[in-house]
């Protein structure tokens, strides 16, 4: 189905991703992908690295004349900062051992990584464990997003909280306000408090975590499956979000909040046909976040991720030296103070990748026209007793980028 691999280190020559399974005929270009990469680099609280890099993915295979070929797509992102790290990250062994890192950072992959892979230097671990890798995921996610747009699926994210500052938002956020916000938040009052909290943490040599919410609208009913544990769409979404750096908790819909309520206050009532509007089987609420029994139920996917504060701190925590085991301040390299706004963009990419794979699993097709035709045929059976609740789209033209 829709598969991808990423490669590359934070300060190496660059990042790469290979994407397999995209049907032929999908309009895509580098400018479209660049929009998502730029969004990932934004947000209040980011470090100096974002001023060095101007991420742009080069399409090196799988696209001809602006449309996919059905063959694997290769995307390459140059690390401009590599020019300053050629000795540390070069292919040849350096003359001195001064490039080694032996001071361990609590909260990072350092200690378990060196023990697992047998290194005497933290550098090989921290380079790949760095959130820089997510640039390649966002590039792959942009291709998935372009594919999902053909189904009418739209994906957004916004910041729910940074530190102990929580946004107060009822209903669907104003997405234009979210994009204009330096912290990706639709609540202007909370925005000011969030930026102040980030400034305070920066002044203290500390970092902040937070909560982001990703929403996917117009998702068809029936993606995923109830028949096996590894085909459940909510399980796939949860794994995808948990794989994002610093994420330590995920909930779909009301999630943990539903555990303290009675069932009558949790489950989403199914509305009668005269209240469906232009989509079948609508619900009175969306507390389940668009999934039931391992499948999408036609309501918006709503998923939240809780991020711990970044582990690399200017005011280092006490730690130990890898060689001696003696106490020493933890290693520090330049880092962000808060990555919550960027994490929302990365979360969008991960949700897009999961949904793209689920759509291909459900509808198949080697060419985009075939995939969309299969989807329309399926949706025509979505009404009561197989009646046509959603009319097929006219024509089979695809949308230009």
CA dihedral 9, 10, 11, 13 (to 10 degrees): 50
**Cα torsion angle, 242, 2, 159, 127, sign:** positive
Residues near 51 by beta carbon (within 8 Å), at least 6 away in sequence: none
pLDDT recorded at residue 390: 46
- One pLDDT digit (tens) per residue for the chain, 401 residues: 899 999 999 999 999 999 999 999 999 999 999 999 999 998 887 766 666 678 999 999 999 999 999 999 999 999 998 988 888 888 887 766 567 888 888 888 999 999 999 999 999 999 999 999 999 999 999 999 999 999 999 999 999 999 999 999 888 999 999 999 999 999 999 999 999 999 999 999 999 999 999 999 999 999 999 999 999 999 999 999 999 999 999 999 999 999 999 999 999 999 999 898 888 899 999 999 999 999 999 999 999 999 999 888 888 888 888 888 888 888 877 678 999 999 999 999 999 999 999 999 999 999 999 999 999 999 988 888 654 444 445 555 555 66
In 3D space, the residue among 273, 303, 311, 309 whose CA is nearest the CA of residue 286 turns out to be: 303
45 neighbors 198 (Cβ within 8 angstroms): yes
pLDDT recorded at residue 332: 79
141 neighbors 39 (Cβ within 8 angstroms): no
Residues near 192 by beta carbon (within 8 Å), at least 6 away in sequence: none
Instruction: Give the residue numbers spanning the domain of 348.
Output: 3-386
Pairing of strands 73-78, 154-162: unpaired
Residue 20 lies in a domain: yes
Overall domain count for the chain: 1
247 neighbors 180 (Cβ within 8 angstroms): no
Residue 79 lies in a domain: yes
Residue 307 lies in a domain: yes
269 neighbors 287 (Cβ within 8 angstroms): no
Residue 401 lies in a domain: no
| Residue 246 structure tokens | 């610093």
State the Cα–Cα distance between residues 344 and 367, nearest whole angstrom: 31
Query: How many angstroms separate the Cα of 394 from the Cα of each of 151, 221, 376, 383, 391?
Result: 13, 21, 10, 19, 9
Residue 331 lies in a domain: yes
For tokens 């330096």, the residue is 182
Q: What is the CATH number of the domain that holds 260?
A: 3.60.150.10
Residue 161 lies in a domain: yes
**Cα torsion angle, 176, 180, 183, 189, sign:** negative
The alpha carbon of residue 42 and the mean position of all alpha carbons in its chain are separated, in whole angstroms, by 15
Residue 400 lies in a domain: no
- Residue 147: phi, psi to the nearest 5? -65, -45
pLDDT recorded at residue 385: 66
Residue 117 lies in a domain: yes
């Amino acid at each position: 189905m829709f598969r991808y691999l990423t490669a590359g280190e934070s300060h190496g020559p660059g990042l790469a991703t290979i994407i397999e399974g995209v049907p032929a005929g999908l309009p895509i270009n580098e400018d479209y992908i660049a929009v998502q990469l730029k969004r990932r680099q934004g947000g209040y609280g980011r470090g100096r690295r974002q001023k060095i890099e101007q991420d742009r993915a080069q399409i090196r295979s799988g696209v001809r004349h602006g449309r996919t070929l059905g063959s694997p797509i290769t995307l390459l992102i140059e690390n401009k900062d590599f020019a300053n790290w050629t000795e540390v990250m070069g292919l040849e062994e350096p003359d001195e051992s001064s490039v080694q890192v032996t001071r361990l950072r609590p909260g990072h992959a350092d200690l378990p990584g060196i023990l697992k892979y047998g290194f005497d230097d933290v550098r090989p671990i921290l380079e790949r464990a760095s959130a820089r890798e997510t640039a390649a995921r966002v590039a792959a996610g942009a291709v998935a997003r372009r594919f999902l747009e053909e189904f009418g699926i739209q994906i957004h994210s916004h910041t729910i909280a940074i530190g102990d500052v929580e946004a107060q938002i009822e209903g669907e956020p104003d997405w234009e306000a979210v994009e204009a916000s330096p912290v990706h938040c639709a609540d202007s009052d909370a925005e000011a408090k969030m930026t102040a909290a980030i400034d305070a943490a920066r002044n203290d040599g500390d970092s902040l975590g937070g909560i982001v919410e990703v929403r996917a609208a117009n998702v068809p009913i029936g993606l995923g499956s109830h028949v096996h544990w590894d085909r459940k769409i909510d399980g796939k979404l949860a794994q995808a979000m948990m794989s994002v750096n610093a994420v330590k908790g995920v909930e779909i819909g009301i999630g943990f909040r539903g555990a303290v309520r009675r069932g009558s206050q949790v489950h989403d009532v199914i509305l009668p046909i005269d209240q469906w509007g232009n989509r079948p089987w609508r619900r009175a609420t969306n507390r389940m976040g668009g999934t039931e029994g391992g499948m999408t139920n036609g309501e918006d996917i709503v998923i939240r991720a809780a991020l711990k504060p970044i582990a690399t701190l200017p005011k280092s925590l006490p730690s130990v030296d890898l060689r001696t085991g003696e106490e020493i301040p933890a290693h520090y390299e330049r880092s962000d103070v808060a990555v919550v706004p960027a994490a929302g963009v990365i979360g969008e990419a991960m949700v897009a990748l999961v949904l793209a794979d689920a759509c291909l699993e459900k509808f198949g097709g080697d060419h985009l026209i075939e995939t969309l035709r299969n989807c329309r045929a399926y949706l025509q059976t979505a009404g009561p007793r197989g009646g046509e609740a959603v009319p097929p789209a006219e024509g089979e033209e695809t949308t230009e980028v």
